[in-house]
Structure 1
């Protein structure tokens, strides 16, 4: 499911003819034109297949003032420009003489220019900046999710779908059939699925799809979450990518594997067989950039109040800013594969993140480390979770932000967020997150009432 830039390319006519043939062959009647708001929530405008030519020309208009973080009411007209390579017939709609399809779209202004508040355009700008420096960005995320039972009204309960543990098979793993249907659906939509299994927590699952360029992967992550939720609903279940839905259990992570391809040298920029770890100077500099900037982009990779209830000791999620070639208690890890597969894994992101912002900020932070020639600190080989505060201080291992409030402060004081998003999108995002944090910190919770109301 390769993705091209939204502007027309030399193969547009061939792509369009193939799409028209598939629309005719599968009796597609409705086209869903999809995009995301600044939180990464999927939105869509639905038109009839007869309007395909107008759709391809980017003539579908919508009210941008009704989308979180987009335009004010007096400048509300925006347009959708589809990525032709994102076309997919939706398997769950297919009948003998009827089906529906979708396009992922970039958002444009009335004059045809790319709308700066569109997260897809934000990531595209980061990809373009990397290409100017001679790099292409490859990304492979690992998204975890829970399956919950629903009540008689179709609302999610707190009862997980099964009691299985890590890698357990059926009959303990009751989600196996759900994952199989998700796999089949994604495959029909062009995904290459590499692995599927039950995760550590009860009711928790993971399905991994093949890495690709950054923009394609962000599109795929967005599609993946939509498909998982849709298929789960067909089984009477509710899927959630909420970071920490169950107290006392592991939360949902989205480990992000990233590598840079050196276009001039024609090879993976992170691999150097002469190094003791077979890592290049650029790999170490990229790691240093991540460690240096992670407090300032955590509000993108871990965007919710709930995100910071996952980033606590004892549940495998990283809490401390360190790196290692193997140690999974570190924030940044280097998986064992070398050669073309050499990559850096950052383990703090969670799947509630807007993937376009998350991938853009991670890539920009790492590339900044390369540009500035930053030096990575000493590798941490020991279990960081078992260290005392004094030991971590001695080794100069800092904490990740512990609340959304801390992350917002680091975001506003840092340089990566403004550089990646641009002033308009950055201000909208900060305002949204500050409102969320203020709402949370001023709320009176059930925990407080249970603990204090009768006592005081």
Structure 2
């Protein structure tokens, strides 16, 4: 539907409310209901939204080190814009109209804090170079019995996954909770987040799903909404879904792998594919991979944003820790998947399920474009065998503290994203490191289990 058709539909539906949401720096949706009359005005004029969403953490505790906003600014309204093209209806809320917004028209917040605005800038740069990025994120997440209140009241002890044991690709386990899995597939599709596939992963109560690819901004919207939608659908079945990178040290972590390719601006040709090379990979694809390898250590917090993220990146359990690439090798950080004109792509395997999709996709694309613009050669060989055990690639930083220090002083990061963003983002990650409580063995579950 075009803008006029959407506004006409909303004006004539029975519901008096519209739901809007904006992503904070952690990729958590912050929003509210507004009257549909206010919505119509907001489409033309924008609306004010309290900038505290950029001044507090995932537990609503205000940063003490942020410059953009804080007690020193009084937390004023930022000028928000609703994206009319993000329209969808929430099928589990009586088809309530829903829209995503951002702060692209407010220079202060667009430059430093708004992750969706950052992705839009990098996407525009890509298109100016003649490339349309097609992306998709796949998620692994664990599901538990109980309500948020019950789990919190239990002190996060004796958590009960919805299925027992290690049983990846299980036909049996999906039958056990058939109504839940049916709801996930069907309701997500109605919410304009169609799934390419969904299956159990190895671990108790863990599921993996891949969202069908799209142009990068739409793909990031879908990824952000996927996590919130899954949590809301889980509530309906008295389950709680967690996207923590590593909720249990003895079980595999939860990945948020990002599939990506570049096409011409008419979407007619996959620019990563070259039938005349032995590998099927174009020079452009090689430059893109080289750029990601070059930039990855400099911008790692955008792929691994929390202290808990680095427990997943410990080597093994399907999560990489070396700066490596390989052809269809799931132990490398970057998995090149050469194939046909329609399927050739790469899979970035570093991100966990705890990422902000806008930031992770922006980082992936910006790093790849860096390689293309600088014509970086792919001078490291594709790794074969187990990259977890390899010494051929440099190790990624093994803690958020180390990763922050590298990004905060990185000329590459400032070039890719701007000093304002790098300064604000690394300060929020420094704050996150200070929230570690070594005296409480459950601090990560209390902080991240339901929210992240």
What TM-score bracket applies, with the shorter chain setting the length?
0.7 to 0.9
- Picking from 137, 144, 148, the partner of 1:141 is 137
| Residues 307-316 or 49-58, more deviating | 49-58
Residue matched to 2:164: 163
Match of 2:69 in 1: 71
- Aligned residue in 1 for 2:448: none
For residues 291-310 of structure 1, the aligned pairs below 5 Å read 291-310=293-312
| Distance in 2, Cα, partners of 1:20 & 1:122 | 27
Q: Which moved more, 1:241-250 or 1:332-341?
A: 332-341
Q: Aligned match of 1:237 in 239, 243, 249?
A: 239
Superimposed CA distance per residue, residues 310-344 of structure 1 (whole angstroms, 9 cap, x where no aligned partner)? 11223111111111112211111112532132111
Residues 336 and 433 of structure 1: CA distance in aligned 2, closer, same or farther (over 3 Å): same
Q: Which residue of 1 aligns with 2:433?
A: 437
Q: Distance in 2 between matches of 1:431 and 1:383?
A: 36
2:25 pairs with 38, 41, 56, which one? 38
| TM-score (normalizing by structure 1) | 0.86
Equivalent residue in structure 2 for 1:107, among 93, 103, 127: 103
Match of 1:280 among 268, 279, 282: 282
Point out where structure 2 has 5 or more consecutive residues left out of the alignment.
56-65, 443-452
Aligned partner (choices 380, 383, 386) of residue 380 of structure 1: 383
> Which structure carries more relative contact order (alpha carbon 8 Å, separation 6+)?
2
Asked if 2 retains the 8 angstrom alpha-carbon contact of 1:35 and 1:105, the reply is yes
Change (3 A) 1:118 1:419: same
Question: How much has 1:283 moved relative to structure 2?
Answer: 0.8
Structure 1 gap segments, 5+ residues each? 1-13, 448-456
SS in 1 for 2:21: strand
Partner deviation per Cα, 1:332-377 (whole Å, 9 max, x = no partner): 1112532132111110101211111111111111111111111111
Larger radius of gyration: 1
Question: Cα deviation per residue 1:261-298 (whole Å; 9 max; x = unaligned)?
Answer: 13389521111111111101111111111111111121
> How far apart in 1 are the matches of 2:195 and 2:357?
19
Contact between 1:334 and 1:343, CA under 8 Å: does it hold in 2?
yes
Contact 1:331 1:348 in 2 (8 A): yes
In structure 1, the residue matched to 2:119 is 123
Preserved contact between residue 170 and residue 176 of structure 1 (Cα < 8 Å)? no
Shift of 1:79: 2.3
- CA-to-partner distance for each residue in 1:127-155, whole Å, 9 max, x for gaps? 11111211111111111111012269333
In structure 2, the CA distance between the partners of 1:112 and 1:359, relative to structure 1 (3 Å rule), is closer
Change (3 A) 1:444 1:265: closer
> CA 1:153/1:382 → structure 2, altered by over 3 Å: closer, same or farther?
closer
Preserved contact between residue 199 and residue 205 of structure 1 (Cα < 8 Å): yes
| CA distance in structure 1 between the partners assigned to 2:324 and 2:349 by the alignment | 11
Shift of residue 385 of structure 1?
Answer: 2.8
After the TM superposition, which of the residue ranges 317-326 and 51-60 deviates more from structure 2? 51-60
TM-score by length of 2: 0.87
- Which residue number corresponds to residue 6 of structure 2? 19
CA contact (8 A) 1:58 1:80 kept: no
CA distance in 1, matches of 2:229, 2:257: 19
The 3 A distance-change label for structure 1 pair 369 and 191 is same
SS in 1 for 2:373: helix
Q: 1:88 to 1:400 in 2, by over 3 A?
A: same
Q: How many residues align?
A: 422
Contact 2:138 2:209 in 1 (8 A): yes
**How far does the alpha carbon of each residue in 1:50-70 deviate from its partner, in whole angstroms, 9 at most, with x for none?**
223212113321221453366
Contact 1:77 1:109 in 2 (8 A): no
Cα deviations by residue, 1:212-244 (Å, 9 ceiling, x for unpaired): 111111111111011000000111111010000
Alpha-carbon distance in structure 1 between the residues aligned to 2:107 and 2:171: 55
**Does the C-alpha gap of structure 1 residues 264 and 207 become closer, same or farther in structure 2, counting only changes over 3 Å?**
closer
1:416 to 1:36, Cα distance in 2 relative to 1, 3 A: farther
2:423 matched residue in structure 1: 427
Assess if the C-alpha contact under 8 Å between 2:295 and 2:412 holds in 1: yes
1:417 Cα deviation after fit: 2.9
2:329 paired with 1:327: yes
Go from structure 1 to structure 2 and tell me whether the alpha carbon gap of 1:350 and 1:266 turns closer, same or farther (over 3 Å shift). same
